[in-house]
């Protein structure tokens, strides 16, 4: 049953159903449902719900705030007016044009967002909204020098006027389209990438996610939806000028999202419609809905950060808690089977060359030379260890190799290619997979979602295909899902596949992270202290697994580790780093014969 109703089919079904049912529904039943409301007030409310969904996509999924959303609506409304009123074009064409213009303007707001975070982004977008209202939207290009422009509900040219009830059904249909696009975003790599950049921008890059690209994509999508919403809003009102899109409309949209629940489609849409129908509220509340809403927000900022939808979840959790729980075991499951992950033949890797060559790498922070003229190499199919005391520069060296820290000198080449200043996500896409000391996963996403996320670069479909969830997207997503389930089964984590990663123990998170990085099918697996947080027995078992990865699959591994016995046991070659410089290098047996080095710089008793 559920197999038959694939996302692809359910999308088509929903649209068909919407086209068939909505016009009849709005013409007859709808106005009677909510006494006092007309088709037009309902259309306004639905247009604002679309605006709410736009901000929800930006803020709730990608974590980028906008306090200037009304300006985007304004841009959409003016764009629609230009097409319908000035060019006598078709109404649907006007909506497409409004979406396009909205996307373009949002792209411009998105550019500062690449540098600005949180509060500063909020300020920048608010100032943008104020400026648009105070000046740009007042320019004669938009207003034609009059008090406002008309956005008539004309289907085509100066002919057919659209009946309000039919217009409402069109607006509802557009809401449905936005809804479906939104849903498609969430269940494809786009939505996963959005949420990963909200959660952990650094780790996103290690999963080969181009942060710049996806941030801008979030703005563009939100801008397109807001532009469409603005066009519909304009058509519903009929006459617009810049004062139709003031700061308080932007704030109103933010309130929709905060009260409805950040990232919760249903909550946002419902709250947006309810708050926008304010003339239909009981008279003692009339006009004070936003005051009330603002008061609720003030009261709930801390208490209920996930809004109304969060409240529903909370109640569901309470009910679930009374049922006996079959999980909650904190102990480590059997040592994971990482081998399930290999998509490709290990013989792909160039065998006759060194996979990674670092020459004369230097990194300075201010006056401190954290990494000083370090050269090292990794041959394919070997495990290479880096050891050294805390502060020796091991992690900085890792960051330099994987592109997170710029080098002040030296070169890195990988797989025969010099990397230069290549961005981290591009290095990851070349096959450099790495873990982080602070586990590089999306903590709020489930184990399974993280596994899907890790396969980002194997999701070989375009953004446009993802937005409509084409058949091929469905097929690829199925494959990724199967792979994710295999990976999780291999880890023995099936029982908590749906648990947020943040709720797992530290050791479990580390294993999930290693499995996730392997899911990117790296040519070189770079592990930053993989046994930190593991019990001794588990650490030993992990060592065996890593050895098996090398022996059975030819996996190359570069490893930072404090557990010296493990390193000497596992590695084919070891570098000793101290105060940013290479102190010694050699095979473990050679280094093992030199206990002076080990005891002096590692402070470990080495048997």
**Residues of this chain, 445-504, that bind other proteins according to CB under 8 A:** none
Q: How many residues bind other proteins (CB under 8 A)?
A: 43
Q: Which of 12, 27, 237, 297 binds other proteins (CB under 8 A)?
A: 297
- For strand 383-387 and strand 556-560, is the pairing parallel, antiparallel, or unpaired? parallel
Q: Which of 11, 54, 133, 382 binds other proteins (CB under 8 A)?
A: 133
Residue among 19 and 134 whose Cβ is closer to other proteins: 134
Residue among 197 and 401 whose Cβ is closer to other proteins: 197
Angle formed at CA 372 by CA 201 and CA 354, multiple of 5 degrees: 75
Does residue number 304 form part of the binding site for other proteins (CB under 8 A)?
no
DSSP 534: -
Q: Which of 120, 156, 266, 365 binds other proteins (CB under 8 A)?
A: 120
CA 58/CA 191 separation, integer angstroms: 11
Does residue number 365 form part of the binding site for other proteins (CB under 8 A)?
no
CB of 368 to other proteins, least distance (A): 18
Residue among 262 and 567 whose Cβ is closer to other proteins: 262
Strand, coil or helix: 93 = helix
Q: Is 27 exposed, middle or buried (0-12, 13-18, 19+ CB in 10 A)?
A: middle
CB of 579 to other proteins, least distance (A): 28
Residue among 124 and 193 whose Cβ is closer to other proteins: 124
**Residues of this chain, 9-48, that bind other proteins according to CB under 8 A:** none
Stretch that binds other proteins, among 137-145, 315-323, 401-409, 510-518 (CB under 8 A): 137-145
Q: Which of 128, 207, 214, 601 binds other proteins (CB under 8 A)?
A: 128
CB of 289 to other proteins, least distance (A): 9
Strand, coil or helix: 4 = coil
Does residue number 119 form part of the binding site for other proteins (CB under 8 A)?
yes
DSSP 418: E
**Residues of this chain, 236-295, that bind other proteins according to CB under 8 A:** 243, 246-248, 251-252, 254-255, 258, 287-288, 290-291, 293-295
- Give me 251's structure tokens: 């704030």
Task: Give the per-residue contact string, 195-234, with other proteins (x = CB under 8 A; - = no).
Answer: ----------------------------------------
Task: Give the per-residue contact string, 309-328, with other proteins (x = CB under 8 A; - = no).
Answer: --------------------
CB of 488 to other proteins, least distance (A): 33
φ/ψ of residue 442, rounded to 5? -85, 110
CB of 67 to other proteins, least distance (A): 7
DSSP for 154-185? BSSTTSPBPPHHHHHHHHHHHHHHHHHHHHHH
- Give me 193's structure tokens: 């990438």
Find the Cα–Cα–Cα–Cα dihedral 348, 211, 181, 106, rounded to 10°: -150
Q: Which of 19, 160, 285, 301 binds other proteins (CB under 8 A)?
A: 301
Q: Is the dihedral of CA 114, 119, 122, 123 positive or negative?
A: negative
Q: Which of 28, 88, 131, 599 binds other proteins (CB under 8 A)?
A: 131
CA 129/CA 117 separation, integer angstroms: 17
CA 372 to chain centre: 36
Q: Is 543 exposed, middle or buried (0-12, 13-18, 19+ CB in 10 A)?
A: buried
CB of 471 to other proteins, least distance (A): 42
CB of 217 to other proteins, least distance (A): 21
Query: Could you tell me which residues come within 8 angstroms of residue 374 by beta carbon, excluding any fewer than 6 positions away?
Result: 358, 360, 361, 362, 393, 397, 410, 575, 577, 580, 581, 582
Residue among 146 and 472 whose Cβ is closer to other proteins: 146
Residue among 12 and 247 whose Cβ is closer to other proteins: 247
CB of 241 to other proteins, least distance (A): 10
* Bridge partners, 151 (sequence order): none
Residue among 110 and 507 whose Cβ is closer to other proteins: 110
Residue among 131 and 495 whose Cβ is closer to other proteins: 131
CB of 126 to other proteins, least distance (A): 7
Stretch that binds other proteins, among 109-117, 148-156, 460-468, 561-569 (CB under 8 A): 109-117
Enclosing H/E stretch for 215:
helix 211-237
Enclosing H/E stretch for 536:
helix 536-553
Residue among 141 and 537 whose Cβ is closer to other proteins: 141
CB of 326 to other proteins, least distance (A): 35
CB of 43 to other proteins, least distance (A): 22
Residue among 141 and 600 whose Cβ is closer to other proteins: 141
Stretch that binds other proteins, among 36-44, 136-144, 175-183, 593-601 (CB under 8 A): 136-144
CA 74/CA 132 separation, integer angstroms: 9
CA 147/CA 151 separation, integer angstroms: 13
Q: Is 184 exposed, middle or buried (0-12, 13-18, 19+ CB in 10 A)?
A: buried
Q: Which of 3, 115, 321, 323 binds other proteins (CB under 8 A)?
A: 115
CB of 300 to other proteins, least distance (A): 10
Q: Where are the beta strands (DSSP E) in 444-600?
A: 524-528, 556-560, 573-578, 581-586
Q: Which of 15, 27, 122, 237 binds other proteins (CB under 8 A)?
A: 122
Q: Which of 1, 2, 33, 298 binds other proteins (CB under 8 A)?
A: 298
Residue among 116 and 239 whose Cβ is closer to other proteins: 116
- Give me 411's structure tokens: 């070169």
Strand, coil or helix: 324 = coil
**Residues of this chain, 43-72, that bind other proteins according to CB under 8 A:** 67
Is the separation of the CB atoms in 515 and 451 below 8 Å? yes
φ/ψ of residue 336, rounded to 5? -60, 155
Query: What's the Rg (C-alpha) of the chain?
Result: 28
Strand, coil or helix: 583 = strand
Query: Could you tell me which residues come within 8 angstroms of residue 589 by beta carbon, excluding any fewer than 6 positions away?
Result: none
CA 413/CA 236 separation, integer angstroms: 59
Residues that bind other proteins (CB under 8 A): 67, 112, 115-116, 118-120, 122-124, 126-128, 130-131, 133-136, 138-140, 145, 243, 246-248, 251-252, 254-255, 258, 287-288, 290-291, 293-295, 297-298, 301-302
């Amino acid at each position: 049953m559920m197999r038959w109703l694939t996302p692809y089919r359910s999308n088509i079904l929903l649209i068909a159903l919407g086209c068939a049912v909505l016009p009849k529904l709005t013409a007859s039943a709808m106005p009677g449902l909510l006494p006092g409301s007309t088709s037009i007030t309902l259309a306004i409310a639905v247009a604002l719900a679309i605006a709410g969904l736009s901000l929800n996509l930006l803020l709730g999924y990608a974590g980028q705030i906008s306090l200037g959303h009304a300006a985007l609506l304004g841009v959409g409304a003016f764009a629609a007016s230009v097409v319908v009123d000035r060019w006598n074009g078709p109404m649907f064409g006007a909506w497409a044009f409004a979406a396009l213009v909205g996307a373009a303007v949002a792209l411009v707001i998105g550019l500062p967002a690449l540098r600005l975070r949180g509060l500063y982004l909020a300020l920048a977008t608010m100032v943008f909204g104020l400026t648009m209202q105070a000046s740009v939207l007042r320019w004669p290009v938009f207003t034609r020098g009059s008090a406002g422009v008309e956005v008539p509900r004309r289907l085509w040219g100066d002919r057919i006027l659209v009946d309000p009830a039919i217009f409402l059904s069109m607006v509802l249909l557009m809401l449905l389209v936005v809804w479906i696009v939104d849903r498609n975003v969430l269940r494809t790599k786009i939505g996963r990438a959005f949420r990963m950049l909200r959660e952990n921008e650094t780790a996103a890059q290690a999963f080969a996610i181009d942060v710049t690209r996806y941030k801008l994509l979030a703005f563009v999508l939100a801008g397109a939806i807001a532009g469409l919403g603005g066009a519909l809003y304009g058509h519903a009102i009929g006459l617009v000028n810049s004062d139709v899109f003031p700061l308080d409309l932007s704030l109103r949209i933010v309130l929709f999202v905060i009260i409805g629940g950040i990232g919760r489609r249903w909550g946002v849409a419902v709250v947006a419609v309810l708050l926008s129908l304010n003339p239909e509220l009981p008279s003692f509340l009339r006009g004070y809905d936003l005051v009330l809403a603002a008061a609720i927000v003030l009261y709930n900022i801390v208490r209920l950060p996930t809004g109304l939808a969060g409240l529903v979840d909370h109640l569901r959790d309470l009910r679930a808690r009374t049922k006996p729980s079959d999980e909650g075991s904190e102990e480590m499951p059997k040592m994971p089977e990482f081998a399930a992950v290999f998509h490709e033949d290990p013989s792909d890797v160039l065998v006759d060359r060194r996979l990674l060559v670092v020459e004369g790498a230097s990194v300075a922070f201010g006056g401190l030379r954290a990494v000083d003229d370090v050269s090292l190499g990794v041959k394919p199919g070997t495990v290479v260890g880096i050891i050294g005391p805390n502060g020796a520069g091991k992690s900085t060296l890792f960051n330099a190799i994987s592109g997170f820290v710029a080098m002040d000198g030296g070169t890195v080449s990988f797989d025969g290619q010099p990397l230069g200043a290549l961005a981290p996500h591009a290095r990851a896409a070349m096959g450099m997979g790495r873990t982080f000391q602070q586990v590089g996963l999306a903590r709020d996403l489930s184990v399974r979602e993280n596994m899907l996320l890790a396969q980002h670069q194997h999701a070989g479909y375009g953004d446009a295909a993802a937005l409509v969830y084409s058949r091929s997207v469905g097929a690829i997503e199925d494959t990724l899902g199967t792979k994710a389930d295999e990976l999780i089964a291999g880890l023995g984590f099936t029982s908590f596949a749906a648990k947020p990663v943040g709720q797992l123990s530290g050791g479990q998170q580390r294993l999930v992270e290693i499995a996730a990085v392997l899911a990117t099918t790296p040519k070189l697996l770079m592990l930053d202290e993989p046994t930190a947080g593991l019990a001794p027995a588990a650490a030993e078992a992990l060592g065996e697994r890593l050895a098996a990865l090398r022996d059975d699959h030819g996996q190359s591994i570069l490893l930072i580790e404090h557990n010296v016995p493990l390193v000497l046991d596992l590695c084919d070659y070891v570098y000793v780093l101290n105060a940013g410089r290479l102190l010694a290098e050699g095979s473990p047996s050679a280094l093992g014969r030199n206990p002076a080095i080990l005891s002096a710089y590692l402070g470990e008793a080495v048997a």
